[in-house]
Amino acid sequence: MAEQIAAYQVYLGAIRKGYNIAEKGLNTANDLKNGTFSLHDAYLTSLEQVSPAVKRDPKGRAIDSLYRQACSLFANEKQWQEKSQMLTASERRYFDKVSGSLLDKAKLDIDELVQVLTPGKLQLTDAERLSRLDKIYERVKDKYAFAGHFTAKCRKLALQRQAYKKDKAKMKELYGIQ
């Protein structure tokens, strides 16, 4: 029995040694995992930050400026059209519908711009943020160009009607028509 107890003591020592090795291995694996997790966490957190290079990109300010100019174009044209009274009621409603729709879409672009330039909103690399700025800029530039073209066409139509009205009045005056 003493031999069995001695053998059990040897086995117990081997088991303890095995448990210690396993415990150290698991702790090492846990430390490695936590270290990797910390690296991933740091990387993902860095993606939420907006670098100074992205903040200084002039396209951000240009996008905002183009949006404001498009709003101003529509507001000024609407005011002029209401004053001149050359467009019909249905044409004025169409003008309002087109301008409202375009400005709503441009507002979505501005909202996306805010997300791209605000830390913590999106997880993007600097290259992805700059790419997004380029795309937003192109969309807003296109909307601004359309706003300019559309308002110019509306103004031209109204001016043609004014000229026609003046010509008609002049002809009546010349020929004595009442």
pLDDT tens sequence across 125-162: 999 999 999 999 999 999 999 999 999 999 999 999 99
Q: What is the pLDDT of residue 49?
A: 87
pLDDT tens sequence across 74-107: 999 999 999 999 999 999 999 999 999 999 999 9
pLDDT tens sequence across 41-87: 666 677 888 889 899 999 999 999 999 999 999 999 999 999 999 99
Judge contact between 148 and 171, C-beta under 8 A. no
Tell me if the pTM is above 0.75.
no
Q: What is the pLDDT of residue 114?
A: 95
Q: What is the pLDDT of residue 38?
A: 66
Task: Provide DSSP, 51-109.
Answer: -HHHHT-HHHHHHHHHHHHHHHHHHHHHHHHHHH--S-HHHHHHHHHHHHHHHHHHHHH
Q: What is the pLDDT of residue 23?
A: 87
Q: What is the pLDDT of residue 37?
A: 64
CA separation for the pair 64, 75 (Å, rounded): 17
